[in-house]
Structure 1
Amino acid sequence: MIDPLIINTIVYGSILGLSSLSLTLTYLTTKIPNFAHGIFLLFGSYMTFTIAEVLKQNPYFSLPIAFLLGGAIALIQYYGVLLPLSMRGGGLVSQMVATLAFSILLYGGLNAYASYLGYVYNVQSRDVTLGFLDYELGGGIRAVFLVSIILAIAFILSLYLFLNKTRLGISIRATVENSSLAESMGINTKLVKAISWFLAGGIASAAGSLYPLQFVFSPTLAYSILLSIFAASVLGGLMSLFGGFIGGFIEGFIEKYIMAELSIYLSPVIGVSPFVINQYSTLVPLIVVAAVLLIAPNGIMGIRVK
């Protein structure tokens, strides 16, 4: 039987790793940190909720739908907000602020949708988990544990092969290296960036579709988990796509495993419940970012061993 804390850590690390990887992808192609990225993850979570609780279907049916929905929303953000702003001379700072404004708009829509589900279908649509709907595999293991690992491996391998073995993937890499040079060589960089944003939104949303099957979720999670995603990207290295996944897994390990063990150890020392201590895990992303920027500003993948 696997320790439930280990299961929690691996599932969370896989979700956070994929979300961080996809955030890094958008940053590499456009150099814009996307503040709406946490909303993409939550859209996937609510897609699972809709499929499982409202339509009473297998919760894993939401995976491909969440991927397409997240990708579509990311395309709307790119073509409807970022590209027009860029063509009008908007700099990186104004585009970054635009992603924040877009995230507020999406957050309002997500809250409205959660309220709609609650009133119309008479279901609890906030601060809820769907773990009870998952499939037991025996030994305290549920399907989400295996699916999260398989999904992470599948996305990483597929993305690696796509970026290194296809013409379009090589165009994306060229755009990342030097957008102006790539455009002068005949590469449609606007299309390349749009595809990158579609993939990023889709991956984040697909990863988020697994979140309700293991953890409690609510619209408010969008911004708290965004801090973890940013911290993971900085930890892995914002200039390394797959470093984002490594950073996400390490960040997940710190937040779930180390904080849980630390709270148990500190509880009798300071006379406070482990649950209370564990609530301060929200500080972990800020501490991680501060430590990385002080010790290794380029992240784990930017460290050079002499």
Structure 2
Amino acid sequence: MNHHALVPLGLALLSGFLVPWMLVRARWAQQVPRLAVTAWAACGAVFAVASALLPAQLLLPGESSHRLSDMLLTLRAPSPGQLFALRGRELAALAVAAAVLAVPAGAFALGLLRARRARRQHAGVLRLIGRYDPELRAVVLDHARPAVYCLPGRSRRVVVSSGAVDTLTPAQLAAALAHERAHIAGRHHLLVAAAEAFGTVFRRLPLARHGSSAVPLLLEMAADDRALRRCTRDALATALYALAAGRAPRAAFAAGGPSAALRMRRILTPHSAGHPVLRGLATIGAAALAMAPLVVACCSFPA
């Protein structure tokens, strides 16, 4: 076995198994959801690159494999001249790596197209049956059940049912609207699409299995945190309670939904003592240090 394959193999094990196992059990993740989402996204990117590099390293001859390892460890991208000079096994290794990367990238692009089509169709329906309220800066839809949701992407808009307007107080409605606008501003639909694509392609992988459920919940919590910059905890929590039974169309974000009860407890319960950001960074750093022996071992062998 080419010893330079140890680095991508170690990265794949680290990002696909170890770090997700730590993230699922980390209490700090729900206290600092943006950091946790960043960790999940980094794991996905590292695993995708490592899974593409592993077969490439196995195909490459020793000298080329050593050059590739040096580029990875020094974060140097190959020049156009080096790419055009590829021949034989090097060209085959590049093709295999590109093919492996194309699978999750294709699933991500397909998921985005499907979600965009669904949002565009729903936006067309809203133009027919909804009315824009300039004071709320949202589309009001005549429906008795309280509901607030948003359509992200190019069809971006916030939708409020007439039941929500009648049921919620002005402070509660403002909190729900701020939550939805946080989803739009943060482009959360891209991260959800990435998590769903990973869940489709690598469904047995802990990274994909846990991430596809953890990332949407963490994004809801991140939107809650951003909304709390403009509203009180009581206003947002009571709005979530009133909207808990509300539903949203496919590819949209709803202020209520199944996670409302958990998020209400999080909003109303003070964070435990300590520094969740520092604990999160320490967790990620500890996982990264697990790669050090592999890197040292790889570089200690001759080419």
TM-score (structure 1 length as normaliser): 0.24
Which structure has more RCO (C-alpha within 8 Å, separation ≥ 6)?
A: 1
Whichever structure has more strand as a proportion of its residues is 2
